Amino acid sequence: MTPSADDIQSLIAGCIKNDRRAQEQLYKLFHNAMAALCMRYAKNMEDATEVMNDGFLKVFKNIQQYEAGKAAISTWIRTIMIHAAIDFLRKKKVNYIDKPLYEEEAGIENEAIQKTDADILLAMIRQLPTATQLVFNLYAIDGFNHVEIASLLDISEGTSRWHVSEARKQLKQLLQTQQLKNE
């Protein structure tokens, strides 16, 4: 059952007061969606759990800054989780190859993607090099543009474009390999 807007506002008010039950309910309400988001950025479940825990810690520390008129609470939490993932990968010292030259993007057939199970696709994305995986997730899944990605990660727009292109190229190869196995 989806909670009402009043129920969510009540949870937020409880979290602002450091009410542990309200925090637990907010965590449970958004756990599955945020776990899926964190798994897209992490290479394994342990790293995803760490990212999610760091993210929820930031949510609870900063919940008083949430403004309902600017965004839905789910959007606000999602943004914090993405930043937590970026912070986590920075700690791991992800190396962004400076590729200022833009390469032709490799197209991935929509039909191939539609025939591929979401879990298999997620596993393929996890096979990408960490920096390429991060940029691809930000661009293709979370909807950031290259200017925003460059700013978030302190890389050039060309480097961002290269990582997206490289991700598509590698995913296309992985999808082709998967299709051959299924034939």
Domain membership flag for residue 173: yes
- The reply to whether 37 and 9 lie within a common domain is yes
User: Under the phi-then-psi rule, with left for phi > 0, alpha for psi from -120 to 50, and beta for the rest, what region is 69?
Assistant: alpha
Domain membership flag for residue 56: yes
Angle at 167 between CA 166 and CA 171, to 5 degrees: 120
Q: pLDDT at position 161, please?
A: 94
CATH code at position 84: 1.10.1740.10
CATH code at position 159: 1.10.10.10
Domain membership flag for residue 97: no
Residue 79 CA to residue 73 CA, distance in Å, equals: 10
Q: If you write DSSP's letter for every residue of 26-79 in order, what string do you get?
A: HHHHHHHHHHHHHHHH-SSHHHHHHHHHHHHHHHHHHGGG--TTTS-HHHHHHH
More confident residue, 106 or 49: 49
Residue 86 CA to residue 180 CA, distance in Å, equals: 35
- The reply to whether 75 and 9 lie within a common domain is yes
Residue 23 CA to residue 14 CA, distance in Å, equals: 7
Q: What total number of domains does the chain contain? A: 2
Q: Write the pLDDT tens digit of every residue in 130-146.
A: 899 999 999 998 999 99
Torsion (CA) 41, 47, 50, 54 in degrees, nearest 10:
-30
Domain boundary among 61, 91, 121: 91
Residue 22 CA to residue 28 CA, distance in Å, equals: 10
Q: Write the pLDDT tens digit of every residue in 118-176.
A: 778 888 888 999 899 999 999 998 999 999 999 999 899 999 999 999 999 999 898 88
Q: pLDDT at position 83, please?
A: 95
Which residues contact residue 94 at a Cβ distance below 8 angstroms, ignoring those fewer than 6 apart?
130, 131, 134
CA nearest to 94, candidates 86, 102, 82: 86
Q: Which two tokens stand for residue 155?
A: 């890389």
Place of tokens 């879990």: 119
Q: Write the pLDDT tens digit of every residue in 75-95.
A: 999 999 999 999 998 887 765
128, with CB counted inside 10 A (0-12, 13-18, 19+), is: buried
Q: Which domain holds residue 42?
A: 5-91
Q: pLDDT at position 98, please?
A: 52
> pTM here?
0.77
- The reply to whether 85 and 124 lie within a common domain is no
